[in-house]
Structure 1
C-alpha cells in the first residue's frame, strides 16, 4: 500500500525539534513487522506509518502524553489503545471494528468512576498534528 502520511509525520521533527529527521527517529518496516506481527488484530495504516516515521523519537513519542510502543498496543473495551495521558486520566484509541480504515477516527476514554468513550471527531493523522501543535504551542507560551 502506498505511504499516505510518512513524509508529513517526518516533517514534525524539524518543525518542533529544530533539527532534521534521521532514520533513528523512526522504526523500519521490517522491525515494525516483527513488533506488530504478534498482535491478533490489524493496525491502521496511519498508525503504522506514524511508528515508521517517529517511533524512535522519544522527544515526540513522549512529548506530553505517551504513545504506546508498537508491541504494547492492546484492545480494551472494544478499542485499540495507542496513547496514555501523562496523568493516566485518559486514553486514546480506535474502535476495534474500524481497524481496517487507513486513518480511523480517534476516541478518548476519560478514566474516572464511570469511564466513558467519546469521539475526538478527528482522524488519527488530524489528531496527531493538532496534538503536537497544542503541546509545542503551549511550551512556547511558557518560555
Structure 2
C-alpha cells in the first residue's frame, strides 16, 4: 500500500465515510508552498496534505496542522504543526527532506532563548501523523469524549479490551481502540485515560465497559 492509500484508509476508517476532494489540499496549494519555501515536501508529508490534510477532526481539533500557505522554515526545520497552547511545534529537519519518510522533530520554546530546543520523536513522519491523529480524535476530533485520572486496574482493563492501535516509542502514551472508538492511555504512574467515540453510542459503550467515574464525560452534558 502506498503512502496516499495508507492515509486514505486511516482517515476513512475513523471518519466512517469515504474521503472526498475537500479532505485534502489541492496540488496547486502544495506547489505554491514548495515554490515559496524553495524546497520539496517529502512524499510522506506531501501525500498526507493531499489526501486528508484538510480534515478538521484529524488535524485541527487540538493541535494545528499548518495549512500549506503557513508552512515555514525555522532553526533548520520545516515547521508543519503547532501545539494548541503554543508551547511547542513539530517539523522535519531541512537536511532530511530528500528522504521519503523523514523523522519528525519537536521544537520546544525555552524561556529566554531565541531559538527552539529540538528533540527527535523517533518516528517517521507517516507513523507520527497517525499517532497525532488519534490524539486529535480524543481531544475534540470525535464529538463525544471523556477523561479520567483513574487506577492501574482500569488502565489494564482498557488496554486488554481494545486492540492496540499504536504507541509512542518513548513509552509515555499508547492508543487503543477501533474505527469508532479511541482511547489514549498514559503508561506512567499517573493513570490518565482519554476516551472518545464517533457517536454518542460509541462513547456510551466505552463508559459501560469500564464502569468508572469520569472527571469529564460528554454523556453528562446530553
Q: Which residue of 2 aligns with 1:122?
A: 123
SS at match of 2:37: coil
The runs of 5 or more residues in structure 2 that have no matched partner are 138-181, 183-193, 197-205, 207-216
Larger Rg: 2
Q: What aligned pairs does 1:1-143 form with structure 2 within 5 A after superposition? A: 4-113=2-111, 114=113, 115-136=116-137, 137=182, 138-140=194-196
Structure 1: where are the runs of 5+ without partners? none
TM-score (norm 1): 0.86
Higher relative contact order (CA 8 A, sep 6+): 1
TM-score by length of 2: 0.58
Query: Could you tell me whether the CA contact under 8 Å between 2:59 and 2:133 is conserved in 1?
Result: no
Asked if structure 2 preserves the Cα contact closer than 8 Å seen for 1:4 and 1:46, the reply is no
- Decide which structure has greater strand share: 2
CA distance in structure 2 between the partners assigned to 1:106 and 1:116 by the alignment: 14
Deviations 1:84-113 (A, max 9, x none): 000011100111111111110000011131
Change beyond 3 A, Cα 1:97–1:37: same
